[in-house]
Amino acid sequence: MDLETLLSFKWSIMAPEFIILGVATALSLLDLFMPKSQNRKILGWIGLAGILAAIVSLFSLIGQGSESILFDTFRLDSFAKAFKLLLLIGAAFVFLIATAYEPKEGFNEYRGEFYYLFLAALLGAMMMSSSGDLITLFVGLELLSISSYILAGMRKTNIQSNESAMKYVINGGISTAITLFGMSYVYGLTGTTNLLNMARHLVTLSDPQHIYLIGLAFFMILVGLSFKLATAPFHMWAPDVYQGAPIPVTAFLSVVSKTAGFIILVRIMMVIFYNTASEGPGSMPFLLKVQDYIAFLAAATMIIGNLIALRQRNIKRLFAYSSIAQAGYLLVVIATMSIFMFDTLWFYLGAYLFMNLGAFAIIQLITQKAGSEDISVFAGLYRKAPILAVAMAVFILSLAGIPGTAGFIGKLNIFMGALAVEPAHYVLVSIMIATTVVSYFYYFGVMVQMFFRPTADSVKIKMPVGLSVTIGVCVFATILFGVAPNIAFDFLQGNFNQFSDFFQ
C-alpha cells in the first residue's frame, strides 16, 4: 500500500481509538520513567482524562453517516458508535473504582501496569465493535483477552489471583482455538475474510455438504464465544476468576468485557449467518433454523446461574453467578431475534453497566475495610452508612428487576421482544420469569444483611472521591432510566438510525 492510498483514508473516524492508543502508550512510558517511590495514581487520572476525551471525540462522530476505511476492515456504523459509547462509559467508571483500590498486598507496585493494560483491553473491545473483517475482529478479541489474562493475575503475591489468571488463560486459550477453527471453515467456504462479502457468498450456497460445514462453523464459533460470555455450560472459569482478580478487574470483566463479547457475537452471527440459506437458496435463513439451540443455551444459563448463586457466601462469587444469569437474559434477546433486538441489547447492557459497576464500587469499599469478602461484612450497613446501604439497595433491586429501576425496564423489553415475534417464545419467557423470581432470594439475602442484621462495629466509612462519583452517577442513572426509559430510547433512535446501516 503506497503513501498516497494511506493518506486518502478518512482517519478521523478512528479518533477515539487513536486517543486510547496514544494515552496507553503515554502511560506505559510515564510508568517506565517515573521514580519507583512515586504514587502511580496520577496515571489513573491521566487515563480517565483520555477516556473522557475519547467519549467527546465519539460524540463528534455520531452525526456522521456510516463510513468504512482500510478496505472495509474498519466500519463506523450506528452499531459501532452506540456500543463504543457503552464501552467508554464503563471504562471511565472502572478507572474511578481503580483509583480508590487499596488492597493490603500485591497491587500497588503494579498499579501503573494496570492502567495501560486496561486501556489496551478497552482498545481491543472498541476495535471489535467497528470490525468489518474477521482478521480485525480476531485481533481486537485477542488484544482484549490477553490484556484481561494479565489483569486477572495482577496481584502477583496473592495465590487466589494467580489461580484465577491460570484458569482464565487455559479456558481463554481453548475458547480462542475453537472460535478460530469455526472462522477458518467460513473463510474456506467463501474465500474472503470480509464479513459483508462472506454474507453475500453464503446466500448462494446450495451444496448440502457446504451447508453442513456452515452449521459446524456456526456451532464452533458459538461455543468459542460462549466461553468469553461465560454462558452455561462454558461458565466454570467465571466464579474463580471473579473471586481471585482485583475488584476493579472483576468489575471490568463483568461489564466491559461482557459487552464486548455480545458485540462480537452479534457482529458475526447477524452479518454472516442471518441470510445464509439453511437448505439451499430460497430456504429458511440459517439463523432462524438454529434459534432453538441458542434458546436452549439461554435457558440453561439462566437456570444454572441463578440456582448456584443461591449457595454462595462470597460476594464476588455471588456476583459472578449473577453475571452468568444476566448473560442468559441477554442470550434470550439473540435467540428471539425480534425487530427490537439491537435496541433491547443496548439498553439492557447500559442498565447493567450502571447497576453492576455501582454495586462493585460499594463491594470494594466494604470488603477492603473489613478484610473479608463474605456476605456477612454487609451486616448492619444501614446503621453505619445509611446512604451507602440505600445505594446498594437500588443496585440490587435493579439487578433483580424490580419496577422503578433500569433493570426492570431492560427485562420488560426482553419479555416484550420474545412475545412479539411469531411464533412467540412462551417457554423461554416462562423460564426467564421463574429464574428472575429465584434471583430474589440471593439478591435480597444481601439486603437482609444490610438492613436487618446487627453490625459488628459502628465505625463510619470514609468515601474516596472516585467511588463517591461512581456510586452517585450510577444510582442516578439506574433510577432515571427506570422511571423515564424514553430518554435512552429517544437518544438511541435519534442518533443511531435504529441501526439501519448494520447490514450495508
pLDDT tens digits, one per residue of 181-190: 999 999 999 9
Contacts of 183 (CB under 8 A, 6+ apart): 134, 138, 217, 221
Measured in whole angstroms, the distance separating CA 480 from the mean position of its chain's CA atoms is 21
pLDDT, residue 326, reads 93
45-78 exposure pattern, b = at least 16 Cβ within 10 A, e = fewer = eebbebbebbbebbeebeeeebebbeeebbbbbb
Residue 68 backbone dihedrals phi, psi, to 5 degrees:
-140, 150
Q: How is the chain split into domains, by residue range?
A: 293-504
Q: pLDDT band for position 504 (50/70/90)?
A: low
pLDDT, residue 501, reads 66
Over range 392-404, report the average pLDDT.
93
Q: What is the CA radius of gyration of the chain?
A: 22
For residue 201, give Cα distances in angstroms to 28, 205, 208, 461.
Answer: 43, 7, 15, 61
pLDDT tens digits, one per residue of 416-465: 999 988 888 899 999 999 999 999 999 999 999 888 888 767 677 778 88
pLDDT tens digits, one per residue of 37-60: 787 888 989 999 999 999 999 999
Residue 96 parent element (H or E): helix 78-99
Percent of the chain's residues with pLDDT above 90: 50
pLDDT, residue 29, reads 93
Look at residue 386 and tell me whether its pLDDT is greater than 70. Answer: yes
Over range 10-30, report the average pLDDT.
91
pLDDT, residue 346, reads 92
Look at residue 226 and tell me whether its pLDDT is greater than 80. Answer: yes
Q: pLDDT band for position 99 (50/70/90)?
A: confident
pLDDT tens digits, one per residue of 254-300: 999 999 999 999 988 888 887 776 666 666 777 888 888 999 999 99
pLDDT, residue 337, reads 83
Q: pLDDT band for position 374 (50/70/90)?
A: confident
pTM of the model: 0.93
Please give the Cα distance from 483 to 398 (Å, whole number): 12
Pair 80, 130: CB distance under 8 Å = yes
Q: pLDDT band for position 100 (50/70/90)?
A: confident
pLDDT, residue 282, reads 61
Angle between helices 465-483 and 406-420 (to 10 degrees): 40
pLDDT tens digits, one per residue of 63-83: 777 788 888 889 888 888 999
Pair 337, 288: CB distance under 8 Å = yes
Amino acid at 229: L
Least confident interval from 121-135, 273-287, 288-302, 375-389: 273-287
Residue 9 backbone dihedrals phi, psi, to 5 degrees:
-75, 150
What does the mean pLDDT of the chain come to? 88
Left, alpha or beta for 337 (phi > 0: left; psi -120 to 50: alpha)? left
Look at residue 106 and tell me whether its pLDDT is greater than 70. Answer: no
Contacts of 243 (CB under 8 A, 6+ apart): 160, 164, 314, 316, 317, 320, 373
pLDDT tens digits, one per residue of 352-369: 999 999 999 999 999 888
Does a cis peptide bond (omega within 30 degrees of 0) precede residue 464? no
